[in-house]
Amino acid sequence: MVFLARPEGFELPRRSGTPFHHAYMEASMTNTQKRRLGVLTSGGDAPGLNAVIRAVVKMGNGLGYEVLGIQQGYEGLLGDTDYRVLTGADVRGLLPRGGTILRTTNKGHFSGKHVEGAKHDPYSEALENIQKLGLNGLITIGGEGTQGIALELVRMGAPIIGVPKTIDNDLPGTDRTFGFDTALQVATDAIDRLHTTAASHNRVMVLEVMGRHAGWIALHSGIAGGADVILIPEIPFDIQLVADKIMEREKYGSNFSIIVAAEGAMPKGGTAFYMAPGRLGGVGNSVTEQLAQMTGKDCRCVVLGHLQRGGTPTPADRLLATRYGAAAVTALNDGITGEMVALRAQDIITVPIESVIGHLKTVRPHNDLIRTAHGLGVSFGD
């Protein structure tokens, strides 16, 4: 068998090995005849979640594991538990399907940290249920919040491998999270479409895309779609410079402009825009209104929103999700725990979960993409 998580000559780091973990693994082996793996999806959905689940089931079954799909994220590990056994038949036809067949919850009861000795501690309850279910390993598919919860459980002794997911691509430790490529495809398609209508009406079109703390979607789609202005959280913008860019284009005969703004973009000296507490949104409309006044041009705003998260994953996301799912099972089967599978150049490796928590992978303001875009005349409003 080819070990997907181990490129030739590369030894995966072995980070399990706490005495508790081994004792736990042996205890759960005696609890059940069949070796069992659990898999759950947590946090916001992303295209490719089902492809990971499919790979986990196929790979897991192939290695002799029964696979339990824990439903509704970590919530399915509470109370009487909410799970179903997943077989090959359950994952048939899943590759092109968006969303998650296991459904998902955003943190739910796990919004705080584990508190030793607390009366109603969801972490202790989840750990107890992981043991009761006889899970030899649990695969947690999600972003930073999901892996943070996983880390708490790992520290308590749960055997977990994380799988990195987010359309924002802002999880550290990995070159790519699955879901990003699909979001990029949707955003770039939107820019292409906005180009033709903007040009026909001599308008300024502002496209607001997702990207809470990191501007990867805006930056990649903006360059791929030929935007004139790209606004990202990492580079606070000066609206006057954005207006100047539009007027400069007018001067040289381009009567329309395309602006891509990440939802977390903010003006210099200002803060990000929120439509409700904890819910970003509004930068697109604000920029649009200001530019209409400053340039006198007809300006329109399109907020792409959850269209970026729904629907069928691109082939690249299906492939990455499949590699991650298979590698997660292989890693657990090799006794590795407390790690997250990750893409590094052309290989799938694992990295300690604790190394990806507490910080995000943001766009470096002088990286080559920014310099390339600058060189092509794109304005970042800076």
Q: Is 167 in the site for ligand F6P (CB under 6 A)?
A: yes
Number of chain positions touching ligand F6P (CB under 6 A): 10
Instruction: Please give the full DSSP string across 282-334, using - where no structure is assigned.
Output: -HHHHHHHHHHHHH---EEEEE-GGGGTSSPPPHHHHHHHHHHHHHHHHHHHT
Q: Which of residues 6-45 bind ligand F6P (CB under 6 A)?
A: 44
CA distances from 120 to 79, 112, 117, 242 (A): 11, 12, 9, 52
* β-pair partners for 301: 206
Evaluated on CA atoms 106, 111, 113, 117, the torsion sign reads negative
Distance of alpha carbon 70 from alpha carbon 293, whole angstroms: 52
CB nearer to ligand F6P: pick between 66 and 168: 168
Residue 159 near residue 136 (C-beta atoms within 8 A): yes
Which residue, 245 or 309, has its beta carbon nearer to ligand F6P?
309
Verify binding: residue 146, ligand F6P, rule CB under 6 A. no
**By CB neighbour count within 10 A (0-12 exposed, 13-18 middle, 19+ buried), where does 3 fall?**
middle
Residue range at the interface with ligand F6P (CB under 6 A); choices 10-18, 160-168, 232-240, 351-359 = 160-168
164 vs 211, beta carbon nearer ligand F6P = 211
Structure tokens at 301: 């705003």
Q: Which CB atom, from 123 or from 273, has the smaller least distance to ligand F6P?
A: 273
The nearer residue to ligand F6P, 5 or 210, going by C-beta atoms, is 210
With 0-12 CB in 10 A as exposed, 13-18 as middle and 19+ as buried, what is 302? middle
Among residues 71, 146, 166, 185, which is the contact residue for ligand F6P, using CB under 6 A?
166
What whole-number distance in Å separates Cα of residue 64 and Cα of residue 179? 29
Catalytic residue among 168, 170, 181, 317: 168
Our finding on whether 157 is near ligand F6P (CB under 6 A) is: no
Q: Min. distance of Cβ 11 from ligand F6P in angstroms?
A: 33
Whether residue 368 lies in the annotated active site: no
Binding region for ligand F6P (CB under 6 A) out of 72-80, 94-102, 164-172, 345-353? 164-172
Question: Who's near 266: CB < 8 A, 6+ residues apart?
Answer: 233, 236, 237, 272, 273, 283
Each residue 99-138 as x (binds ligand F6P by CB under 6 A) or -, in order, gives ----------------------------------------
Site for ligand F6P in 36-95 (CB under 6 A): 44
| Residue ranges in 205-264 that form contacts with ligand F6P under rule CB under 6 A | 210-212, 263
Query: Number of C-alpha atoms within 13 angstroms, CB side, residue 240?
Result: 1
Least distance to ligand F6P, CB of residue 211, Å: 6
Which positions lie near ligand F6P, rule CB under 6 A?
Answer: 44, 166-168, 210-212, 263, 280, 309
**Active-site residue list:** 168
